[in-house]
A and B are shown apart, each in its own frame.
Chain A
Amino acid sequence: MDKLMHDLKVQIIAQLNLQDLTPEDIGDDQPLFVEGLGLDSIDALELIVLLQQQYKIKLSSAEEGPKVFRSVKTIAEYITEHKPKV
């Protein structure tokens, strides 16, 4: 789980071009949107694409978004739960 969260932080920084941040700057439980990292709805779309590209996971419904993308930890938990079995 720790490695997955670290990988996710690296991928989020790259995908969203968060130039001044390092993975260490993003807390596992830190909110990603609004008061936390300050991400917005365009970033949410980028994160959906990231999940599909890197982990082959599609969100089953749009309503899941706020819950799944609340923090790096919640994304990692969703990936672990939904990762396609090889």
Chain B
Amino acid sequence: MMMENKVYICSTGIISPQANFGKKEDFALASEYTGSSLHCIEPDYKSILDPKLIRRMSRIIRMGAAAALECMVHSEVQQPDGIITGTAYGCVEDTVSFLTKMVENKEELLTPTAFIQSTHNTVGSQIALLLKCHQYNNTFVQRGFSFEHALMDALLLLNENEAKTILVGGIDELNETSEAILKRFGLYRTNQNNLQLLTTSGKGSMAGEGASFFLLSSESSSGNIACLDDLKMLFDPNEETDVVQWIHYCLSENNLTWEQIDLVITGRNGNQQGDLIYDKLEFSIAKKTRFAYFKHLCGEYPTASSFGMWMAVSSIRENKIPFTVTSKTQSGTIRKVLLYNHDQNGHHSLMLFSAC
């Protein structure tokens, strides 16, 4: 989607497997995990959320609410004109709790809380309650495009002047049950070190989770971090070369050459088959720009592109790549960043960011 008006990213709030909650800088040391998954480093929620509300919130709701509030704290905006969330799996913990009780109690004597909180839009609605925001509220549940569609909705509202500020976020949680189910598909490795995930190519990746929120605005302000210039999606292409051609086309549509892109962040996750597309893209532009990766930091999950977006925005703000492990990617200014990610080879997305 080409934007008629500029869209600014005012602030970010994130809870992820990295220690980046509440920090605006100093993302030097990446957290290390061994096994098949990466889990979020969570803050002490009692200092962020009302303890009376926390008791009824499952982990994903706490993560989402805390990340959203953190995002608002760092902005100059009191209340957004809308709240839009994207989540593929929704509130897994509450769903598991509700279904387990349903089986154990033979479909009788079901407690209401887990059921009420198990719907995918719970995070968005809890944020609205916390902010006392009675404006537009929507949740997108579209597998690997869940966050992208939330973002697209925000961009449309801003471009059509239906809103001036939108709080948009991507959230997904991983718990014992969901990890066990997803493992059956052969998606994850066992006994893998996350910092070596991208250098030891093989079958599968590592599972992850996270909550990343962004306050978008149609108005220029000195506090804005970056601009979101374009968002594009491609579903289920026939071949890898189609994707690479599509990416080249998107860039030319923005009147840009690869030499003008300071950094390309890709969703490389160590899974040999899925990384083929990233290999082809890198091969075609290797000498023209530099690359960074993020899935060894957050793991693989359907809304992981929201972590990628945080990384792109932070790279522009800090003029360096957060948690980077290679020295060759550290030099030069970062003013234009392209984020390309795909989920399970089916959902491909492209985001273009620039310094304000």
- Interface set of A (CB-CB < 8 Å, partner B): 15-20, 38, 42, 45-46, 49, 52-53
Contact = CB atoms under 8 A, between A and B. Distances in A.
A81 to B, nearest CB: 21
Nearest to B52: A38
A49 B55 contact: no
12 contacts: A19-B54, A19-B55, A20-B51, A42-B56, A42-B116, A45-B111, A46-B111, A46-B112, A46-B113, A49-B109, A49-B111, A53-B109
Interface residues of chain A: helix, strand, loop or mixed (majority): helix
Contacts of A53: 105, 109
**Shortest 3 CB-CB contacts between residues of A and residues of B:** A17-B55, A45-B112, A49-B111
Interface residues of B, number: 12
B353 to A, nearest CB: 40
Contact of B113 (A18, A38, A42): A42
Contacts of A17: 55-56
B111 A15 contact: yes
A7 to B, nearest CB: 18
Nearest to B56: A17
A52 B52 contact: no
A20 B51 CA distance: 8
A30 to B, nearest CB: 16
A15 B56 CA distance: 11
B126 to A, nearest CB: 13
A38 B51 CA distance: 12
A76 B268 CA distance: 60
Nearest to B112: A45
Contacts of B111: 15, 45-46, 49
B48 to A, nearest CB: 15
